[in-house]
Amino acid sequence: MIDIENISKWYGDFQVLTDCTTQVAKGEVVVVCGPSGSGKSTLIKCVNGLEPVQQGRISVDGDDVTAKGANLTALRSRIGMVFQHFELYPHMSVLENLCLAQEKVLKRPRAEAVTRAEKLLDRVGMADHAAKFPSQLSGGQQQRIAIARSLAMDPIAMLFDEPTSALDPEMIKEVLDVMVELAQEGMTMMVVTHEMGFARKVADRVIFMDNGAIVEDRQTAAFFDNPESERAQDFLSKILDH
C-alpha cells in the first residue's frame, strides 16, 4: 500500500535520507527505529508529503505523493498522522478537534461528524472529556484524542511519529494499548518508536535506520533475535538492557 522507492532528501547540503526503499502492505504494521537523527521521522513525514523529497518516488494506495502537482490535500486526508507532541488545536474543545477536518475536508454534515467523533472518543476511553480543552488533559489523554482525531477521517493507513516519547512513563501504556488494538484490527501502520515491547508484540517488520539510510528491514522476530548489522546489534544491546 505504501511504496517508498529510492528516496533521497537533503536540507541544504546535508543529506538526511539516502536511497531509502521499503514497502508496507495493507494491514501490515511496520516499526521504524534507530538512533536520534537517523531520519526516521523525516522518512514517515515524506509518506504524506509533509516533507518533500528531492529524489525517488513514494506512492500510497497507487497515488504518487512525490509527483509534481499531486493532490496532496486529498491524499493526506486519507492518511492519519499522530505526532510526538499531540498537536491538538488548543482553542477548540476535544469534540471540535475531532470534527474540524471531518467537516471542512470530508464535508461531512455536522451531525454525522459529531456522531463519528463521539464513537471514537468512546473507543479511546475519552467519552467523558468531549467538552474539555486539550490543555486541561494529561499527555496520555491528549495523545489518545489525537489518535481518535486521525481515525475520524477513516484513514487507509496511520503514521505515528514517536507517539509516546513526550509522555510520562505511566501514561505510555494507555496510548500503546490503543495502538495495539488498532494494529490487531488490521490497520496499516508505520510507527516510529523506541518502544521495543510494542514492536515485538504487534510489528510485522522492523526497519532500522542509521545516518539517513535503511540498515535493516526484516521480520520482527528475525530482527530482535538475529540482527545482521553491527550497528543494529549495538543499538539493541543498548536499549534492551536497561
Partner 1 sequence: MNYNWNWGVLFEEQYLNWLISGFGWTISVALSAWCIAIVIGSLVGVGKTVPNKVIRGICATYVEIFRNVPLLVQMFIWYFAVPEMLPEDWGRWMKRDLPNPEFVTAVVALGLYTASRIAEQVRAGIETVPPGLSAAATAHGLSTAQTYRYVLLPISFRIIVPPLTSEFLTVFKNSSLALTIGLLELTAQSQQIAEYTFQGFEAFTAATVIYVCIALVATILMQVLEKYTRIPGYVGKEA
Q: How far apart are CA 219 and CA 185, in angstroms?
A: 20
- Cβ-based burial of 62 (10 A; exposed 0-12, middle 13-18, buried ≥19): exposed
| Smallest gap from residue 34 Cβ to partner 1 (A) | 21
Binders of partner 1 among residues 128 to 147 (CB under 8 A) are: 133, 135-136, 146
Residue count, binding to partner 1 (CB under 8 A):
28
Least Å distance, CB 20 to partner 1, is 20
C-beta closer to partner 1: residue 83 or 223? 83
Q: Pick out residues in 21-50 that bind partner 1 (CB under 8 A).
A: 48, 50
Residue type at position 179: M
List residues bridging with 214 in a β-sheet: 209
Please identify which residue in 129, 144, 149, 231 interacts with partner 1, judged by CB under 8 A. Answer: 149
Q: How many residues make up the chain in this entry? A: 242
Q: Is 104 in the site for partner 1 (CB under 8 A)?
A: yes
Residues 46-65 that bind partner 1 (CB under 8 A): 48, 50
Q: Which residues pair with 7 in a beta bridge?
A: 20
Q: What is the DSSP pairing of strand 205-210 with strand 213-219?
A: antiparallel
Among 101, 156, 180, 213, binds partner 1 (CB under 8 A): 101
Helix, strand, or coil here: 98? helix
Grid cell 454525522 — which residue? 112
Q: Is residue 19 close enough to count as binding partner 1 by CB under 8 A?
A: no
Q: How far apart are CA 167 and CA 41, in angstroms?
A: 17
Tell me how far apart the alpha carbons of residues 87 and 143 are, in angstroms, rounded to a whole number: 9
CB of 187 to partner 1, least distance (A): 16
Q: Measured from the CB atom, is 188 or 220 closer to partner 1?
A: 188
In this structure, what C-alpha cell is assigned to residue 25? 502492505
CA dist 125 and 130 (Å) reads 11
Q: Which residues contact 25 (CB under 8 A, 6 or more apart)?
A: 1, 188
CB of 23 to partner 1, least distance (A): 21
User: Contacting partner 1 (CB under 8 A), which of 90, 109, 186, 197?
Assistant: 90
- Nearest distance, CB of residue 89 and partner 1, angstroms: 6
Query: Is 66 near partner 1 (CB under 8 A)?
Result: no
Closest CB to partner 1 among 98 and 236?
Answer: 98
**Residue 204 DSSP label:** S
Please state the closest distance from residue 72 (CB atom) to partner 1, in A.
8
List residues binding partner 1 (CB under 8 A). 48, 50, 73-74, 76-79, 81, 83, 85, 87-91, 100-101, 104-106, 133, 135-136, 146, 149-150, 153
